[in-house]
Amino acid sequence: MKILKSNHFNSVTIFITGILFILFAACNERVNDPDINNDGPKVTPVGEKNYFEIVTWNIRWFPDKGTKTINLVKDIIRDIDVDMIAVQEIASISAFNTLLDSLDGWQGVLSPDQYSSSSYQKTGIIYKSDLISLSSVHPIFTNDRYAFPRPPLSAYVELKDANGVQYDFSIIVLHLKAFSGIENEDRRRQAIVKLDAFISTEIANGADVDFIVIGDWNDRVSDSEETNVFLPLLDKPQQYAFLTQDLSTFIDHIMITGDSFYEFGEGDMEPLDIRKQIATYSSDVSDHLPVMARFKGFTISPSK
């Protein structure tokens, strides 16, 4: 039997076909892929091609909210696009490795110390591996738990491009004793005295004269002389400079030795107030903001 196709039938067929095409196309859009950011960066990029940016970031008991925190930290690192991040309060090695696996072009190291077999707040370094190499990674002051309840992590860093090494330095990542009170302040003060002696001895023994000491110092550089634990360093302006000295309410700091004054050049420093762009930052990521220093005394390859 021959079936006659009416105009009404053709219209219905075309309509149904169109609906199916739309549904099929929609099902093939990767709208839920966590690696696709359909709205662009969540956080404003701050990295610049010809400069070296280093950040200190206490990521509260990482990952405080599990996978949610890992994904937010991943997005933030990708978006801000800096070169090196010194991290504190890493409370899960496996979560740290998961984070690194999600960041193409990045590598990282963690301190070996821990409070017990299942509890720790590790310091670490995350860095762009095409631009930066690390060597001699090791903890220091491992037998001085009074001054350093979390032994600082030390490493030798080379920042290089196609023309060779542009800046090399020793980095020390800190997480000093927390909380107020006479004893806690004394522990931080002793740590700072010992850091001064350690750096001076290292340089006298032939170590690289460039140091960056970075992390959560748990105290304010702006305190009055009567209570300021930083005086052993502040009293030597030819040897040390706190790039974060103007951040009167912050306890996260970046300090450099005198020979890095040239590399810092006409550099700048700023806290990255991500709370303005990620509404859940304080609850899902950290109670600390990342603090960045940008070095402008030299240029590196614009191909990074």
pLDDT at residue 291 in the model: 98
Q: Is the pTM of this model over 0.95?
A: no
Residue 187 sits at φ, ψ, to 5 deg, of -65, -40
Q: How confident is the model at residue 299 (pLDDT cuts 50, 70, 90)?
A: confident
Residue 198 sits at φ, ψ, to 5 deg, of -65, -50
Decide if pLDDT at 39 tops 90: no
Structure tokens at 171: 């980095």
- Domain boundaries, given as residue ranges, for the chain: 52-295
Among the listed residues 44, 54, 41, the one whose alpha carbon sits nearest the alpha carbon of residue 290: 54
pLDDT at residue 279 in the model: 96
pLDDT at residue 118 in the model: 84
More confident residue, 153 or 24: 153
Decide if pLDDT at 40 tops 70: no
CATH fold of the domain at 52-295: Deoxyribonuclease I; Chain A (3.60.10)
- The residue behind tokens 């951040």 is 247
